Amino acid sequence: MKAVILAGGQGTRLRPLTLKVPKPVVPIVNVPFLCYQLELLKKYNVDETILSVGYQPEKIESVLGQSNKLHYIVENVPLGTAGAYKNSESFLDGTTLVFNGDILCNFDLNKIIRFHQANSAIATIVLTQVGNPSSYGLVETTEDGRVTRFLEKPGLEDITCNTINAGCYVLEPEVLEMIPLGKNYSFEKSVFPDLLASGRAVYGYVAPGYWIDIGTPEKYLNAHLDILQRRFVPSVILPWEDSMPKLKPGANFLNSFISSSCAIGEKSQIFSSSINEGCRIGKRVIIDRSVIWSGVEIGDDTKIEGCVVGNSCQIGKNAVLSKTILGDNTVVLDNSQLEMSSK
């Protein structure tokens, strides 16, 4: 079976991080995001993957590289989720797996495909359960899993269940016939509601296991904490034993993944954080529940908590940063205090 990954969105909710690094390759515990999805597809012997990209495609290609099992399709204008799938038609040859390019999960793809086949479905939407469905696609089903309603980003008054579209589908080629070529077209707003209106067999499979959409700063950080605190073990094998930075006396770290090319100053403490290549951390620094990208310098006595710090930032001495997102190359002066205000 082949897979299509929809990875052409601009990642606006992750700005400023995605101004220079497109969402499909933002690092998750120092590994580019799509590597997690590609590894999951490899585990289930998916033969070929089509990556539908549009925003900064050359950066995605330079990170993930070329192979005869990975095809890139570049959109000049965004075609929407269904339009992107239609655009990959020439590569497809039957039942296809489609993934949003920003979901991290450990779904059993074999079980999902077997469920799809057992129901002779034209489309199977993988579902997951969340506390608040309002920022997702709400999916109602009958007891045997037949989808009765699909409502994208429901208002609070429309929330009738806790099952949402996990951004993973199994689709029969007939779905392609409903999508106009070269036009912006949405699975969520057009294809799924139209399939339901025409009475076609659309099923929802509630997949057990881990799932998160990494597309907002909060979820991006949460995905890290879930991996670092071992609540989620991804299919990508992380070389924990190689993550041994140069530690000065009294410095230590817990539940953290730190590139071996980093230097950590005396008495600095790092908890539940990931620190990417070539960072230089001063003395008595505290880094807690944070994600630090590459080439970052942090001065003595600074405290960073609940932050994401982009590539090559320079943070001065004795600063306090809390729940803050810094884009690449940001300079923070000594003694600064930065805290994201709650909206």
**Best CA proximity match to 37, nearest among 29, 25, 21:** 25
Number of CB atoms found within 10 A of residue 285's CB:
24
Angle made by CA atoms 160, 166, 168, in degrees to the nearest 5: 135
Is 213 a binding residue for Mg ion by CB under 5 A? The answer is: yes
Is 185 a binding residue for ligand GDD by CB under 6 A? The answer is: no
Is 295 a binding residue for ligand GDD by CB under 6 A? The answer is: no
Residue 98 in tokens: 């489609």
Strand order in the sheet with 263-264: 246-247, 263-264, 280-281, 297-298, 314-315, 331-332
Dihedral pair phi/psi, residue 189, rounded to 5°: -95, -25
210, 106 Cβ separation under 8 angstroms: yes
Which amino acid belongs to residue 139? V
Distances in whole angstroms, Cα of residue 27 to Cα of each of 35, 113, 149, 294 = 9, 29, 35, 10
Number of chain residues interacting with Mg ion (CB under 5 A): 3
Is 6 a binding residue for ligand GDD by CB under 6 A? The answer is: yes
What is the smallest separation between the CB atom of 39 and ligand GDD, expressed in angstroms?
17
Which amino acid belongs to residue 15? R
Residue 74, CB-side half-sphere exposure with 13 Å CA sphere: 8
Is 164 a binding residue for ligand GDD by CB under 6 A? The answer is: yes
Candidates 75, 102, 301, 328; binder of Mg ion (CB under 5 A) is 102
Number of chain residues interacting with ligand GDD (CB under 6 A): 25
* Region near ligand GDD per CB under 6 A, out of 7-15, 57-65, 275-283, 323-331: 7-15
Residues 41-70 that bind Mg ion (CB under 5 A): none
Is 49 a binding residue for ligand GDD by CB under 6 A? The answer is: no
Cα 250 to its chain centre, rounded Å, is 35
Residues 130-159 that bind ligand GDD (CB under 6 A): 136-137, 152
Is 8 a binding residue for ligand GDD by CB under 6 A? The answer is: yes
Closest CB to ligand GDD among residues 107, 257: 107
Distances in whole angstroms, Cα of residue 240 to Cα of each of 36, 126, 236, 268, 274 = 16, 31, 12, 20, 11
Residue 297 in tokens: 């310098």
* Region near ligand GDD per CB under 6 A, out of 160-168, 219-227, 262-270, 334-342: 160-168
Candidates 27, 32, 101, 310; binder of ligand GDD (CB under 6 A) is 101
Closest CB to ligand GDD among residues 188, 301: 188
Closest CB to ligand GDD among residues 167, 299: 167
334, 316 Cβ separation under 8 angstroms: yes
Closest CB to ligand GDD among residues 129, 314: 129
By a kind-dependent CB cut-off of 5 to 8 A, residue 245 interacts, out of Mg ion, ligand GDD, none, with none
The 8-class DSSP code of residue 126 comes to: E
Residues engaged in binding ligand GDD (CB under 6 A)? 6-9, 52, 54, 75, 78-81, 84, 100-103, 136-137, 152, 164-165, 167, 188, 213, 215
The binding site for Mg ion (CB under 5 A) comprises: 102, 213, 215
